[in-house]
Amino acid sequence: MALLVAIPLAFIPAFFFSWFIYWLDRYEKEPRWLLFLTFAWGGFVAIIGTLIVASIFEVGFSFVLQDAILEDIAGGSITAPLVEEFWKGLAVFAVFLIFRKEFDSVLDGIIYGGIAGLGFAATENVFYFMGQYADAGWGGMFTNFALRVGVFAWGHPFYTAFTGLGFAVSRTNRNILIKLAAPIVGYFLAVSAHAFHNTVLVFATGLGSIALIILIEWASWIMFLGFIFWMVRHEQGLLKKHLAEEVANGLISEAQFKTAVSFFQFSARMSAMSSGVYRITNHFYQYLGELAHKKEQFAKFGDERGNSVIIEKLRANIASLAPRAKA
């Protein structure tokens, strides 16, 4: 019975938070199937990998330290950050390596990192909820739910977003040193943020110090959210830059251009729903976002992996949908 409660308590909020991250990706949304795979990697593959590798670390620390308290501190401050961020980060690396055409911007790296982190957090929360239920019954489970899903909900996606940011910086730069160093720097930023959280909680005494930790972490998350909105504005600028040419060429209308660069695109989508062309309109503006990003990549990297062919294919798709897409 407790497991049937723990699973939805962990996964329903994680799906909601994932939707919020998906919503933040305004102009060129990532494929939902790929986001689902990234979530599943974080929730299952990364958990299994962490359990195996962390067990090896635990044996090593037990042999070296021979002190239960020091072993717990080492496990939380060293093992967990290093191992968990490595396994979660592999999901981002897989997208970066295998689905490179979907890795178009800095924001994409943050999206994939955050989704992998939420998958990991969901499964980890099931274990924590069950452990608290075994120790303190339903009260323990729901108290732990309030802490892990309410107070510290954005921890894992925040940490792994740094790894995603590192891969994204690598993807969008031509400098070979930056391309090689950025993922490593991103990973160690993820590890550092994770280690800070685990370590300060171990040594926190009293409500005042815990409140200060919560304040610092929430301030960090809000600042990172501000950075995401800044990146969204940057992407808006890319659309304005590259789609203006398509208006001049007659591919899209001025009204469609204004809708494409709008943050919400609300009126167009509502009109599309009432007219029965929602899917057409949705695909149309998705293709416009992809076109702008591919044109930016072509400007930076040339005909990398057939960018010119992709651009022309996107233009053909847009041309076929433009007469029916709402503005």
Each residue's pLDDT tens digit, 77-133: 999 999 999 999 999 999 999 998 888 899 999 999 999 999 999 999 999 999 999
Residue 229 within a domain: no
Distance separating alpha carbons of residues 140 and 327, to the nearest angstrom: 52
**Are both 70 and 138 inside the same structural domain?**
yes
Residue 227 within a domain: no
pTM: 0.94
Each residue's pLDDT tens digit, 139-154: 999 999 999 999 999 9
**Are both 168 and 255 inside the same structural domain?**
no
107, amino acid identity: L
Task: Tell me what the pLDDT averaged over the chain comes to.
Answer: 93
**Are both 148 and 8 inside the same structural domain?**
yes
**Cα angle 163, 169, 172; round to 5:** 140
Residue 21 within a domain: yes
Residue 174 within a domain: yes
Q: Would the CA dihedral through 207, 210, 216, 218 be positive or negative?
A: negative
**Are both 184 and 295 inside the same structural domain?**
no
Residue 226 within a domain: no
Residue 327 within a domain: no
Distance separating alpha carbons of residues 301 and 254, to the nearest angstrom: 29
**Are both 242 and 153 inside the same structural domain?**
no
Q: What residues have CB less than 8 Å from 288, skipping those under 6 apart?
A: 239, 243, 246, 252, 256, 260, 318
**Are both 44 and 138 inside the same structural domain?**
yes
Each residue's pLDDT tens digit, 237-277: 999 999 999 999 999 999 999 999 998 887 788 888 888 89
pLDDT score, position 66: 81
Distance separating alpha carbons of residues 219 and 212, to the nearest angstrom: 10
Is the pLDDT score of 30 beyond 80?
A: yes
Domain range for 303: 235-321
How many residues make up the chain in this entry?
327
Instruction: Encode 247-262: b = buried (16+ Cβ within 10 Å), e = exposed.
Output: beeebbeeebbebbbb
**Are both 248 and 198 inside the same structural domain?**
no
Instruction: Encode 165-174: b = buried (16+ Cβ within 10 Å), e = exposed.
Output: bbbbbbbbee
Residue 90 within a domain: yes
Each residue's pLDDT tens digit, 134-190: 999 999 999 999 999 999 999 999 999 999 999 999 999 889 999 999 999 999 999
**Are both 175 and 292 inside the same structural domain?**
no
**Are both 16 and 163 inside the same structural domain?**
yes
**Are both 168 and 254 inside the same structural domain?**
no
3-state secondary structure the chain: CHHHHHHHHHHHHHHHHHHHHHHHCCCCCCCHHHHHHHHHHHHHHHHHHHHHHHHHHHHHHHHHHCCHHHHHHHHHHHHHHHHHHHHHHHHHHHHHHHCHHHCCCHHHHHHHHHHHHHHHHHHHHHHHHHHHHHHHHHHHHHHHHHHHHHHCCCHHHHHHHHHHHHHHHHHCCCCHHHHHHHHHHHHHHHHHHHHHHHHHHHHCCHHHHHHHHHHHHHHHHHHHHHHHHHHHHHHHHHHHHHHHHHHHCCCCCHHHHHHHCCCCCHHHHHHHHHHCCHHHHHHHHHHHHHHHHHHHHHHHHCCCCCHHHHHHHHHHHHHHHCCCCCC
Give me 107's structure tokens: 């924001």
pLDDT score, position 296: 92
Residue 32 within a domain: yes
Q: What residues have CB less than 8 Å from 61, skipping those under 6 apart?
A: 70, 71, 74, 75, 78, 79
pLDDT score, position 67: 80
pLDDT score, position 325: 92
| Chain-centre distance for alpha carbon 155 | 12
| Number of compact structural domains in the chain | 2
